[in-house]
């Protein structure tokens, strides 16, 4: 179909996620019709580097032969069968394979189909665990301020992002919020120039205060380990997560690590918890699990948690939760092929190395007038743009500076999407240095352009 027709039909019928639809309707959308390797191809044949890995999930690039073939092979067997009352070969094989790479204390996998459902399942498991072991009063949560665990009601309750979720606040269940250890913009009560250690220690003492006061009613602490993604790629100070683990154990509260964004090599370890040698009680993954091909998510639990759900059907210990496409065979086949490629290419090691090299390139942006802070872990990058560097004063949000820079990146053949005025770079993990260099060079041009334009 002609580009113009597709654009008209999109405007007429579609409602896009996380999108200001009024602005969306003002411009003809870019319509993606194909992809190859690191590039997305639009309906006019233009090519764009996929700088956000199709929303933080693509791993090896697009149309990867091995994954394509695995899905086709599975298609010749069965596209979908239910896991309610039946077992499924790809789901079994994937479960065994995942157990080889997740932290050793995690022994069971519960599949679903999105990051939000993986988080939702972790929260429900935590509450029912305490119920099943005779402590039903432990049903509240601690989250981090501005955390993001997805857009279902439970996920919004624990990851309460004011900008996204404010209208729903009356619907959300009770949660306590500990300050985020954000060094560039420290929480109230910490000096603006505090060191990472000072920020970390303050945030931990606040967390401990909550645990001391409410521990008897708390089911779990939920954190995005090492990097708090949607809040602006906030990299936690070293040692923070380790201490959160220690506090969770001390106050008898489960630790849920949401690895939806950080998992599958993104931070230079297979899972971010490995940076801090932390073993969570529950862990959520999604996005990269299928190499960014198909919707699949997983929530991992310890044997101790699993055992608390065993009993006679009449005892009410069962986990009554499931989705129609839980453990979909095509998605599991893609995930298995994805893991083959991780192994064959020693990809996690590559990410760590490329991350360091990318870090060097990004440093060349630091002197630019409007670059306030550059945050990176592995291939997870946030570049925060500010109006005034000395005072860290943000741009007026009405200028939508981050969105405008990303829009202009398209003329360089690059797709990026910001988080407010933090430019996000989340390339497919297999993206080479030549492409990464091209992205940083284009960023330099477009961020520099802000200096000369009163109105970006
Ligand atoms: C840490 C984290 N958890 C959960 C989610 C929600 O994932 P999904 O969009 O697949 O529901 C995201 C999405 O960005 C995320 O970053």
* Residue-level pLDDT, tens digit, the chain, 456 residues: 999 999 999 999 999 999 999 999 999 999 999 999 999 999 999 999 999 999 999 999 999 999 999 999 999 999 999 999 999 999 999 999 999 999 999 999 999 999 999 999 999 999 999 999 999 999 999 999 999 999 999 999 999 888 888 899 999 998 999 999 999 999 999 999 999 999 999 999 999 999 999 999 999 999 999 999 999 999 999 999 999 999 999 999 999 999 999 999 999 999 999 999 999 999 999 999 999 999 999 999 999 999 999 999 999 999 999 999 999 999 999 999 999 999 999 999 999 999 999 999 999 999 999 999 999 999 999 999 999 999 999 999 999 999 999 999 999 999 999 999 999 999 999 999 999 999 999 999 999 999 987 554
| Ligand 1 close to Cβ of residue 230 (< 6 A) | yes
156: CA distance to ligand 1 center in Å? 11
Query: Does the residue 23 lie in any domain?
Result: no
Q: Which of 41, 35, 91, 40 minimizes the C-alpha distance to 64?
A: 35
Structural domain ending residue among the three candidates 306, 329, 344: 344
55 and 77 housed in the same domain: no
57: CA distance to ligand 1 center in Å? 10
Q: Which residues contact 374 (CB under 8 A, 6 or more apart)?
A: 362, 363, 365, 366, 381, 382, 383, 384
202 and 329 housed in the same domain: yes
Q: Which atom of ligand 1 is nearest to the CA of 297?
A: 10
| Distance linking the first and last C-alpha atoms of the chain | 34
Q: Which atom of ligand 1 is nearest to the CA of 230?
A: 16
In what helix (H) or strand (E) does residue 332 lie, and over which residues does it extend? helix 329-344
Query: Does the residue 2 lie in any domain?
Result: no
Query: Are the C-beta atoms of residues 385 and 401 closer than 8 Å to each other?
Result: yes
222: CA distance to ligand 1 center in Å? 13
At 453 the pLDDT is 73
413: CA distance to ligand 1 center in Å? 26
| Ligand 1 close to Cβ of residue 118 (< 6 A) | no
Q: Which of 326, 343, 374 minimizes the C-alpha distance to 90?
A: 326
40 and 50 housed in the same domain: yes
447: CA distance to ligand 1 center in Å? 28
* Distance from C-alpha of 233 to C-alpha of 382, rounded to nearest angstrom: 5
139 and 255 housed in the same domain: yes
Print the domain residue range for 130: 68-344
* Distance from C-alpha of 272 to C-alpha of 263, rounded to nearest angstrom: 6
Query: Does the residue 317 lie in any domain?
Result: yes
Query: Are the C-beta atoms of residues 9 and 29 closer than 8 Å to each other?
Result: no
| Ligand 1 close to Cβ of residue 373 (< 6 A) | no
390: CATH = 3.90.1150.10
| Ligand 1 close to Cβ of residue 201 (< 6 A) | no
* Distance from C-alpha of 79 to C-alpha of 422, rounded to nearest angstrom: 40
118: CATH = 3.40.640.10
Query: Does the residue 4 lie in any domain?
Result: no
Which tokens in the block code for residue 64?
A: 């990867």
Query: Does the residue 19 lie in any domain?
Result: no
At 335 the pLDDT is 98
pTM of the predicted model over 0.95: yes
394 and 405 housed in the same domain: yes
pLDDT tens, position by position, 238-274: 999 999 999 999 999 999 999 999 999 999 999 999 9
At 164 the pLDDT is 86
| Ligand 1 close to Cβ of residue 286 (< 6 A) | yes
Query: Does the residue 396 lie in any domain?
Result: yes
* Distance from C-alpha of 27 to C-alpha of 179, rounded to nearest angstrom: 39
177 and 76 housed in the same domain: yes
At 163 the pLDDT is 82
* Distance from C-alpha of 387 to C-alpha of 401, rounded to nearest angstrom: 10
Structural domain ending residue among the three candidates 277, 311, 344: 344
| Ligand 1 close to Cβ of residue 404 (< 6 A) | no
179 and 274 housed in the same domain: yes
112 and 250 housed in the same domain: yes
At 13 the pLDDT is 98
Structural domain ending residue among the three candidates 297, 319, 344: 344
CA distance to 147, 241, 261, 309, 353, per residue, from 228 (Å): 7, 12, 9, 31, 22
At 384 the pLDDT is 98
Q: Where are the alpha helices (DSSP H) in 171-323?
A: 196-214, 240-250, 303-307
Give the residue, by CA position, lying nearest to ligand 1 atom 16.
261
Probe ligand 1: pick from 161, 231, 258, 261, max atoms within 8 Å of CB? 261
Give the residue, by CA position, lying nearest to ligand 1 atom 4.
149
279 and 411 housed in the same domain: no
At 456 the pLDDT is 43
At 79 the pLDDT is 98
Q: Which of 275, 269, 217, 286 minimizes the C-alpha distance to 244?
A: 275
Parallel, antiparallel, or unpaired: how do β-strands 47-50 and 39-42 relate?
antiparallel
54 and 115 housed in the same domain: no
CA distance to 66, 262, 286, 435, per residue, from 37 (Å): 13, 22, 21, 11
Query: Does the residue 121 lie in any domain?
Result: yes
Q: Which of 304, 279, 186 minimizes the C-alpha distance to 225?
A: 279
229 class by beta-carbon count within 10 Å (0-12 exposed, 13-18 middle, 19+ buried)? buried
Q: How many domains does the chain have?
A: 2
Query: Does the residue 21 lie in any domain?
Result: no
* Distance from C-alpha of 180 to C-alpha of 185, rounded to nearest angstrom: 9
Q: Which atom of ligand 1 is nearest to the CA of 229?
A: 16
154 and 36 housed in the same domain: no
* Distance from C-alpha of 323 to C-alpha of 300, rounded to nearest angstrom: 16
226 and 334 housed in the same domain: yes
């Amino acid at each position: 179909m002609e580009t113009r027709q597709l654009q008209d039909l999109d405007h007429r019928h579609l409602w896009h996620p996380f999108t200001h639809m009024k602005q969306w309707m003002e411009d003809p959308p870019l319509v993606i019709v194909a992809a190859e390797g690191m590039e997305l191809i639009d309906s006019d044949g233009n090519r764009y580097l996929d700088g956000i890995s199709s929303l933080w999930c693509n791993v090896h690039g697009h149309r990867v032969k091995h994954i394509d073939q695995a899905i086709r092979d599975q298609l010749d067997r069965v596209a979908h069968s239910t896991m309610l009352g039946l077992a499924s070969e790809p789901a079994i094989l994937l479960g065994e394979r995942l157990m080889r790479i997740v932290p050793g204390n995690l022994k069971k996998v519960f599949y679903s189909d999105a990051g939000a459902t993986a988080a939702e399942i972790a929260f429900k498991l935590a509450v029912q665990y305490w119920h099943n072991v005779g402590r039903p009063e432990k049903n509240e949560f601690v989250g981090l301020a501005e955390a993001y665990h997805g857009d279902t009601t439970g996920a919004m309750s624990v990851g309460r992002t004011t900008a996204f979720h404010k209208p729903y606040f009356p619907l959300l269940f009770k949660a306590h919020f500990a300050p985020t250890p954000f060094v560039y913009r420290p929480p109230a009560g910490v000096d603006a120039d505090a060191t990472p250690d000072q920020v970390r220690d303050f945030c931990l003492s606040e967390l401990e205060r909550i645990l001391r006061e409410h521990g008897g009613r708390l089911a779990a602490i939920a954190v995005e380990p090492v990097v708090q993604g949607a809040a602006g790629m906030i990299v936690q100070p070293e040692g923070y997560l380790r201490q959160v683990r220690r506090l969770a154990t001390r106050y008898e509260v489960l630790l849920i690590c949401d690895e939806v964004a950080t998992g599958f090599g993104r931070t230079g370890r297979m899972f971010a918890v490995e940076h801090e040698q932390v073993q969570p009680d529950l862990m959520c993954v999604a996005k990269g699990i299928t190499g960014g091909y198909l919707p699949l998510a997983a929530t991992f639990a310890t044997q101790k948690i699993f055992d608390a759900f065993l009993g006679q059907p009449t005892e009410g210990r069962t986990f009554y939760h499931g989705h129609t496409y839980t453990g979909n065979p095509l998605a599991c086949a893609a995930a298995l092929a994805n893991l083959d490629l991780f192994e064959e290419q020693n990809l996690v090691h590559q990410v760590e190395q490329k991350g360091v090299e990318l870090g060097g390139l990004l440093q060349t942006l630091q002197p630019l007038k409007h670059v306030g802070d550059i945050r990176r872990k592995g291939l997870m990058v946030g570049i925060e743009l500010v109006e005034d560097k000395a005072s860290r004063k943000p741009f007026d949000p009405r200028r939508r500076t981050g969105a405008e820079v990303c829009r202009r990146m398209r003329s360089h053949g690059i797709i990026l999407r910001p988080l407010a005025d933090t430019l996000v770079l989340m390339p497919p993990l297999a993206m080479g240095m030549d492409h990464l260099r091209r992205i940083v060079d284009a960023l330099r041009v477009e961020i520099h352009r802000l200096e000369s334009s009163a109105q970006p």
